[in-house]
Amino acid sequence: MEQHERLVVRWNQDAMTKPFIGFRAERVRGNRTSRSRSVAELTNRPRVIAQEPDDIKILLFADAVERADRRGLGAPFGFEDDQMLEYGPYIELERP
């Protein structure tokens, strides 16, 4: 069975109302490049990022903010194509 490293994100649940995680990943194999991106609300357990740690180009973390383009709270960041969209403050996490 092949083993892979994964990133696990843990946070202080009492410090945040509605935390979000976001990442953009890119994997190059030969002449093919695959890209993925994700923004998700975190639940009350550690979050495992399924992508290989070396493939992750940007990893963001923040509490929800009021957004003009939505009703209520939402992530303070997003991704559109290869661009990152900013709607509020966030932290860029460093990979180990």
Q: What is the pLDDT of residues 34-76, one digit of tens each?
A: 999 999 999 878 889 988 999 999 999 999 999 988 888 999 9
CA 68/CA 59 separation, integer angstroms: 24
Kindly write down the DSSP assignment for every residue of 6-42, as one continuous string.
-EEE---TTT-SSEEEEEEEEEEETTEEEEEEEEEE-
Question: What global pTM score does this model have?
Answer: 0.85
Domain locations in the chain?
A: 7-92
- Rounded to whole angstroms, the Cα distance separating 21 from 92 reads 10
Which strand (E) or helix (H) includes residue 25? strand 19-29
Surface-to-core class of residue 44, CB atoms within 10 Å of its CB (0-12 exposed, 13-18 middle, 19+ buried): exposed
Percent of the chain with pLDDT over 70: 98
